Structure 1
Amino acid sequence: MERTLTENETAADAAGGVDAPGAAGGAGAAAGGALYRRVAADLREAITTGAYGETGRLPAEGALAERYGVSRGTVRQALAVLRADGLVTSRRGTRRVVLGNARVQSFSELLSFTHWARSMGEEPGGRLESLVRRPADAAEREHLRLPPGSEVYVTLRLRTLSGTPVMCERTVYPPHVGILVAQLPPDVVSHTEQLREHGILFTDADHTIDVVAANAEDAKLLGCRRGAPLLRERRRTTDPTGRPVEWSQDRYLPGTVAFSVHNSLATSALSRHARESD
């Protein structure tokens, strides 16, 4: 799965790479930056296809640098990307341990399961199991900031990646959004994309990640046993004005998805990135 970079790429790394910037300036630095992303992409593909097995170890930094014909600094930056994606551990003085081949979903992509799936080369799928209109309970009114007596639209969908069930999606919509959802075809892949065409924008979200036991409905749809642990992501999303547009919980089968978060002094804990469910 791994490949050796071209002579031109190697020269750029030596001239302006991440750990040996020289007089080449911006162009060299840009080439070096592109190198570590290519190394990271190649290693990511090897990990996700099982080349190193689960809980296996990557080759040492020096061996990776020799294999790809790049500097150790470039390798370190590539490994930092994999660490941020939750694919490998990082501990000083030891070789990186592979954590598994679960697909990595950044917080920026939690707003669209469809967008994330396609970015990973998967074919997203969605099947509407039920849609009901009913009075909102107290918790739903609080999350969606609705007055007493309001109604909501509640959907249950099975989400798939390349035909394989991975997640049950339960979403509660306020009336102005739910009435549009009710008009969509039951097999539409992305509610988010369809709603955007009607001017409903999903721009900010609060997320809570925990583990819950599969109920009878989850077990039937996902093919797991009742009581099996599922990774749950709860999400309240708002539009550009801060008005809630959904309150949702997604329940994933273990091993099908991982979540990443970026922290720094300069940005908030849940910043969105132009990178890699409804």
Structure 2
Amino acid sequence: MSNASAKTPIWQAIAEALRSDVAEGRYTPGDRLPTEAALAERFGVNRHTVRHGLSALVEEGLIRTRRGSGAFVAATPTDYAIGKRVRFHENLIAAGRRPEKRVLNIEERVATDGEAQALRIAPGDPVCAYHGLSLADGQPIAVVESVFPAARLPGVAEALRVHTRITQALQTAGVADYTRASTRLTAVRASATQALHLQVAEGDPLLKSTSVNVDESGNPVEYGRTWFAGDRVTLTL
């Protein structure tokens, strides 16, 4: 058979068309691609052929698929430093990303046994719990829960309602500076609510960071748990 009579397989043509769409900015990192049904209609083929083309792009690393959510243009993971001084805004700005935080809930309640141990307070002592969503360039990268000792930090609840940055809220509550005393990293699966906030599928892999921050006198001022979307963040120690 001559080269002139050879034809490009349709799935390859679909992959090339989507590759061009990404290169031209029609779809940007983090964007969701049309459904298989919509792509099949666009290219006039069956969904199996579309799936073949998408699989090729997954192998290239250009797109990622999430069970139950669809196909997304792969984003370069955000570098996030874990050290003595962990600051969300500064970390993302240093990585060339636009930081954003959204408050999900702020509640005043009593400490659990685990929280009390981490904060060196008595079980049942009052704490302020902050629940938030961290974003980079508008894309959610982490769900956050931070617990603060209310008696040690008078006014912290109101400060958290006023300031979007925890550093500013702690300064308002009398903590001039704080550092990371400990960090523990574990791999977990996304719960239904975490999946909803992070725009991933339930059961997708997350990286959980559990930490304790202390003031200049060594007193714990924050017990934090952060669930990072596994494919959107590279943690560096």
Task: State the TM bucket, normalised to the shorter chain.
Answer: 0.5 to 0.7
- The partner residue of 1:249 within 214, 217, 225 is 225
Q: CA deviation at 1:147?
A: 2.0
Decide which of 219, 225, 246 is 2:195's aligned counterpart.
Answer: 219
Counting only pairs closer than 5 Å after superposition, residues 1-278 of structure 1 correspond to structure 2 as 101-108=76-83, 111-176=86-151, 179-184=154-159, 186=161, 188-200=163-175, 201-261=177-237
Q: Distance in 1 between matches of 2:107 and 2:159?
A: 14
Scaled by the length of structure 1, the TM-score of the pair is 0.54
Matched residues in 1 for 2:174 and 2:159: separation?
15
Runs (5+) with no aligned partner, structure 2: 1-28, 30-56, 61-74
CA distance in 2: counterparts of 1:178 and 1:128, whole angstroms: 19
CA distance in 2, matches of 1:260, 1:185: 27
Shift of 1:112: 1.1
How many angstroms apart in 1 are the aligned matches of 2:140 and 2:104? 13
> Is the CA contact 1:141–1:147 (under 8 Å) kept in the aligned structure 2?
yes
Question: What is the rounded CA distance, in whole Å, between the counterparts of 2:58 and 2:84 in structure 1?
Answer: 25
Identical pairs, percent = 23
Counterpart position of 1:26:
none
- Output the CA distance in 2 between the equivalents of 1:167 and 1:101: 15
Deviation at residue 179 of structure 1 after TM alignment? 4.5
1:26-83 deviation line (CA, Å, top 9, x unaligned): xxxxxxxxxxxxxxxxxxxxxxx9xxx9999xxxxxxxxxxxxxxxxxxxxxxxxxxx
Gaps of 5+ in 1: 1-48, 57-99, 262-278
Q: CA deviation at 1:148?
A: 3.8
User: Quick check: 2:186–2:207 contact (8 Å CA) kept in 1?
Assistant: yes
Distance 1:164 1:154 in 2: 24
Q: Find the aligned partners of 1:216 and 1:177 in 2 and give their Cα distance.
A: 34
CA contact under 8 A between 2:108 and 2:157: conserved in structure 1? no
Instruction: Return the TM-score normalized by structure 2.
Output: 0.63
Give the direction of change, closer, same or farther, for the CA distance of 1:198–1:148 in structure 2 (3 Å limit). closer
Whose strand proportion is higher, 1 or 2? 2
Deviating above 6 A after TM superposition, structure 1's stretches of 4 or more consecutive aligned residues are: 53-56
Contact residue 134 and residue 151 of structure 1 kept, 8 A: yes
How many residue pairs end up in the alignment?
A: 167
